[in-house]
Amino acid sequence: AARRRKRAPEPGRNKATVKGRVVKSAIEEYHKKADVNHLRANLQYMLKGRFVAKKAITEQVLAQNRGRKSKDQPPKKAAKKKPEGTVFTEEDFRKFEREYFGRP
C-alpha cells in the first residue's frame, strides 16, 4: 500500500521555478561583473591639473620609496668622457697633405 501511494510524479508545474522569474542573459551578467577600464577618465583627471612638483621634491619622494635591494636602486650614470683633442692643427694636416700627396 505504501508503494502505491509513492507513485511516479506526474508531469506538472515545476516547483523549483519562482513565479514571474525572468531569465537573465549571460552576456549581461558578464558585462556587469567585467572590469571597467578607467584609463581615459584617469588621464583626463591627470592632464586637467597644471601643478607640477619641483624636481627636488620629486627626487625626495623617489628616494623615500627606494628600498635597500639592488633592484630598487637607480642605475648608475656613467661619467661622460671628454673627447680627447688632437695635437695636430688644421695647418699641420694641410702641410702633410702637400708633402705626402704632392698637391699645392
Write a three-state SS string for 63-78.
HHHCCCCHHHCCCCCC
Identify which has the larger pLDDT, 7 or 55.
Answer: 55
Q: What is the pLDDT at residue 76?
A: 83
Residue 101 has pLDDT above 60, yes or no: yes
Structural contact between residues 66 and 72, judged by C-beta atoms closer than 8 angstroms = yes
95: closest CA among 86, 82, 104?
104
Interval 86-103 mean pLDDT: 84
Condensed to tens digits (0 to 9), the pLDDT of residues 17-50 reads 666 677 788 898 898 888 888 899 988 888 887 7
Beta-carbon contacts of 61 under 8 Å, excluding residues fewer than 6 positions away, are 53
pLDDT classification of 9: cutoffs 50, 70, 90: low
Question: What is the arithmetic mean of pLDDT over 54-65?
Answer: 87
DSSP string over the chain: -HHHHSPPPPS---TTSPTTPPPPPHHHHHHHHSPP--HHHHHHHHHH------HHHHHHHHHHH--SSGGGSPPPPPPPPPPPPPS--HHHHHHHHHHHH---
Assigned C-alpha cell, 59: 627626487
What are the domain boundaries of the chain? 36-70
Q: Is the pLDDT of residue 10 over 70?
A: no
